[in-house]
Each structure stands twice: as structure tokens, then as C-alpha cells.
């Protein structure tokens, strides 16, 4: 599959997902915060909800599982050597253990963790359960890599607990034979390379000449500067980057796609207080011409900037238009985080009732994942629709349908 992403809404031809496994449950209230969770999840409930999500995707597109892709990539000795070298750079004993594992077991250990062997006093007394910690957040595949056009950008994760995710995705896109793409994994020549962070939840490809980027706790200004430099390699003619500042807290604002997502050629979903209302969070337009920055200026907001660029979009408000408290509650549970599978057709959580009522008023038919999976509804027969998945447990992980997908290829949109 050749990578091709030039919009957020084109008909989806391929997507990477990761079904949550034991890594989700291998945390306690004591270490949940370290794992970037505000609560611990029940894998049985989350697994049933994810089964709905995956079932819908399997009905409408081609899905690729991270663990299967990683296992295939590790068949190449160079890929295996490189990844273990990155993961266990300062731990020769761990590297030796990983090298001894067969490919499928190594892929599992890299994602689900490697339990500690209590064969000396230090390890016996250690409060740690794992020598190689599980990747608790990996079912949010959006963040560790981003397809932009025909290129694959590897994320620079803000938190150490997630950086192995990016190394795994780099391994897959560099060595797996399934994909044809140019891998962008910038080497930051800076005394503080950790300041250059960016994650996929903050990066939206609005059109082939427009990128939206959130600037907050997971994507820094230096990270965006490095993205600007990288974009010079693929930008043609005029290219526009719209940057939206985000609050540092609460944690529900970690990425731009938690407050803004695109649903159709003429409609977007937004959390009103951040995107539309007067506040201290700036929106900045960066214009490039012939791969050089020609202007940087503040603009009113994302919708007005898109309108100036020929994308005149109508808003749908997360939580509905009537009650700020309801807006806040539903934004917290990923009420703005929709994943479009085609223009006007998207997946989201059923739990956000007021958001769904708002979308219904915009002409969206609300259908359940079960009806799609059981062939009771064909989304091709719908003009506009939201496919609702159960989200009582998944949402507690801090993300929605867009967070749980890494699209590889979309068909071009007839703007």
C-alpha cells in the first residue's frame, strides 16, 4: 500500500490500529499517573468496546494491526538489531534477553512489557513489576506516526513512557514490505532535543496545502518549528500551517483533535470555548511560498483562517449549543474526537448524547456499530451518518475514535 493522506475526510482505504491487550491492565492506581492515565481500565469491558470499533473498520476499510506488522518487520535482522539497540541502549542484559526471543514473542514483549526476573537482591526488593514496561497507551495509534501526503512522519513523543511507540512505528515503516513511503524521522541538532516534541493528535491534514497543528503540552513551539523545516521537503507552491495554542490543563486538552476535528467538506466539530470564544489562546497562520516561510501572523481562529483559504465550514458544537457545563463534560469524554471514514461519515462515542443531538440537527443519521457490523445498515446508503460505538471504558483512557486510528491512505476529495 502506497501511503497517501491529503485530507482528514477522504474515503478511507487503509488504517493502522492496535487492539488493547494485557498492557492496558498492567497498571495500578499507584502508577496510573506515570502511565498518563487518570484512572485504571477494565480490559474486559474496554476489549468489548474496542471489538465494536474494529468490527466497524473491518466492514468499511482495510485494517492493519501493529503487533502483526511489528512481527513481520522483525523478520529482518537489521530491523531487529536496530530496534533492540534503541530500546535497550543502556541495558546490555535486557538487550540479551530481547535478542533471545523469537519474533512473535519479541513483538509481544516490546508492546506488553517484559516481567522482571527477581534473581538478585536489587530485583527482589524492586517495586517494579516489569524490566521493560508495557506500552499502556499504544491503542492510541494516532500519536506515534503521521501520514502527510505520501510521507510518514515519526512522532517525537512528549513523555518517555510513550517513546518506544515511535521507535516501533519507525521500524514498521522503514522495514516492513507492505508499505511504500518516505519515512521522516528528524534528527534534532540541538542541546535540548527533548524540547522538539510533536504528536499525531496535534496534527491534522485539512487539505493537501493546509496543515493544522495544536501547540500545547504534547507539541511544543520548537517541535512545530522542526515540522516547518520538514514540510519544506514536500510543500509545493503555497503551503499553509495554522497553529492553535491549547491550554496546558486539564488533560482532556492534550491534543488539537480533542477540541477540533473535520467531518465533511463543509462541516467541522469544535469545542466552543477554545475554538470560537474570546480567550488567551492564539491562532497563528504560517504561510510558505516556494518552501520558504513568507509570513507569520495572528488570525481570529481556525475556521476563519480556513475560510480565507477557501474552506468555508459550518460548525457543530461539542456538547450542543445550550449549556457550557454539558460542553465541558462531553469534551472531557472525547466528544469532539471524531474519525471520518468518508466525507460526512464518521465514528464517535455513543455516550456523548448532546453532541450526537447537535450532529443530528445538522443532518447526520446516528447509527450503531452493531447495526453496521451485522449488515443492518450500509453506510453507503447514508448521506451523512455517525457510527456510534460504546465508550464507557475506552473514553476513560483519554481518547476517542480519531486517537485510536492511524490512517494510511485516503481517496482524494473533490473539493
> What confidence score (pLDDT) does residue 177 get?
87
Read off φ and ψ for residue 272, nearest 5 degrees: -55, -45
Residue with cell 470560537: 276
Residues in the chain: 415
% of the chain at pLDDT higher than 90: 80
Cα pseudo-dihedral 369, 372, 378, 381, rounded to 10: -10
- CA Rg, the chain, in Å? 21
Residue 39 in this model has a pLDDT that exceeds 90: no
- Tell me if residue 238 falls in helix, strand or coil: strand
Domain count, the chain: 1
Q: Is residue 1 part of a domain?
A: no
> What confidence score (pLDDT) does residue 398 get?
87
Tell me the average pLDDT across 263-283: 96
pLDDT tens-digit series, residues 155-189: 999 998 899 999 999 999 999 988 888 999 877 76
> What confidence score (pLDDT) does residue 237 get?
86
Q: What is the mean pLDDT of the chain?
A: 93
> What confidence score (pLDDT) does residue 191 get?
65
Q: Is residue 3 part of a domain?
A: no
pLDDT tens-digit series, residues 182-219: 999 877 767 677 789 999 999 999 999 999 999 999 99
> What confidence score (pLDDT) does residue 38 get?
62
> What confidence score (pLDDT) does residue 33 get?
56
Residue 379 in this model has a pLDDT that exceeds 70: yes
Q: Is residue 243 part of a domain?
A: yes
* CA pair distance 82, 70, nearest whole angstrom: 13
Q: Is residue 4 part of a domain?
A: no
Q: What is the DSSP string of 257-285?
A: GGTEEEEETTEEEE-HHHHTS--S--EEE
Q: Is residue 311 part of a domain?
A: yes
pLDDT tens-digit series, residues 71-126: 999 999 999 999 999 999 989 999 999 999 999 999 999 999 999 999 888 888 88
> What confidence score (pLDDT) does residue 270 get?
98
How, if at all, do strands 130-132 and 145-148 pair? unpaired
> What confidence score (pLDDT) does residue 30 get?
67
**Distances 289 to 78, 207, 222 between C-alpha atoms, Å:** 39, 16, 21
Q: Which domain holds residue 268?
A: 12-410
Q: Is residue 31 part of a domain?
A: yes
- Tell me if residue 68 falls in helix, strand or coil: helix
Please report, for the domain that includes residue 247, its CATH number: 3.75.10.10
> What confidence score (pLDDT) does residue 251 get?
83
Amino acid at each position: 500500500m502506497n501511503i497517501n493522506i491529503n485530507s482528514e475526510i477522504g474515503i478511507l482505504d487503509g488504517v493502522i490500529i492496535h487492539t488493547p491487550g494485557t498492557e492496558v491492565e498492567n497498571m495500578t492506581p499507584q502508577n496510573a499517573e506515570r502511565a498518563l492515565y487518570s484512572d485504571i481500565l477494565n480490559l474486559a469491558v474496554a476489549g468489548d468496546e474496542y471489538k465494536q470499533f474494529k468490527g466497524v473498520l473491518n466492514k468499511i476499510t482495510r485494517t492493519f494491526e501493529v503487533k502483526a506488522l511489528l512481527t513481520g518487520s522483525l523478520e529482518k535482522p537489521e530491523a531487529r538489531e536496530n530496534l533492540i539497540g534503541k530500546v535497550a541502549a543502556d541495558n546490555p542484559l535486557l538487550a540479551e534477553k530481547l535478542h533471545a526471543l523469537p519474533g512473535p514473542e519479541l513483538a509481544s514483549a516490546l508492546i506488553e512489557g517484559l516481567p522482571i526476573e527477581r534473581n538478585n537482591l536489587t530485583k527482589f526488593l524492586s517495586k517494579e513489576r516489569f524490566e521493560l514496561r508495557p506500552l499502556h497507551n499504544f491503542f492510541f495509534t494516532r500519536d506515534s506516526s503521521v501520514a502527510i501526503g505520501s510521507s510518514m512522519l515519526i512522532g517525537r513523543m512528549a513523555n518517555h513512557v510513550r517513546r518506544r511507540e515511535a521507535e516501533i512505528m519507525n521500524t514498521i515503516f522503514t522495514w516492513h514490505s507492505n508499505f511504500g513511503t518516505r519515512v521522516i524521522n528528524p534528527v534534532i541538532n540541538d542541546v535540548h532535543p527533548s524540547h522538539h516534541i510533536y504528536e499525531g493528535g496535534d496534527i491534522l491534514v485539512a487539505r493537501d496545502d493546509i496543515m493544522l497543528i495544536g501547540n500545547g503540552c504534547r507539541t511544543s513551539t520548537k517541535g512545530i518549528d522542526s515540522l516547518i523545516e520538514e514540510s519544506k521537503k514536500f510543500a509545493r507552491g503555497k503551503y499553509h500551517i495554522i497553529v492553535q495554542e491549547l491550554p496546558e490543563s486539564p488533560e482532556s486538552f492534550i491534543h488539537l483533535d480533542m477540541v477540533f476535528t473535520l467531518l465533511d467538506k463543509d462541516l467541522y466539530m469544535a469545542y466552543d470555548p477554545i475554538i470560537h470564544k474570546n480567550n488567551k489562546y492564539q491562532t497563528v497562520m504560517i504561510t510558505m511560498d516556494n518552501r520558504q516561510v513568507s509570513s507569520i501572523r495572528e488570525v481570529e481562529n481556525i475556521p476563519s483562517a480556513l475560510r480565507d483559504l477557501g474552506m468555508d465550514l459550518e460548525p457543530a458544537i461539542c456538547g450542543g449549543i445550550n449549556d457550557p457545563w454539558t460542553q465541558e463534560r462531553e469534551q472531557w469524554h472525547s466528544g469532539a474526537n471524531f474519525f471520518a471514514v468518508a466525507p460526512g461519515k464518521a465514528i464517535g462515542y455513543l455516550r456523548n448524547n448532546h453532541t450526537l443531538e447537535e450532529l443530528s440537527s445538522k443532518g447526520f443519521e446516528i447509527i450503531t456499530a452493531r447495526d453496521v457490523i451485522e449488515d443492518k445498515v450500509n453506510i453507503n446508503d447514508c448521506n451523512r451518518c455517525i457510527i456510534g460505538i460504546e465508550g464507557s471504558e475506552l473514553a476513560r483512557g483519554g481518547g476517542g475514535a480519531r486517537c485510536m486510528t492511524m490512517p494510511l491512505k485516503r481517496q482524494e476529495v473533490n473539493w
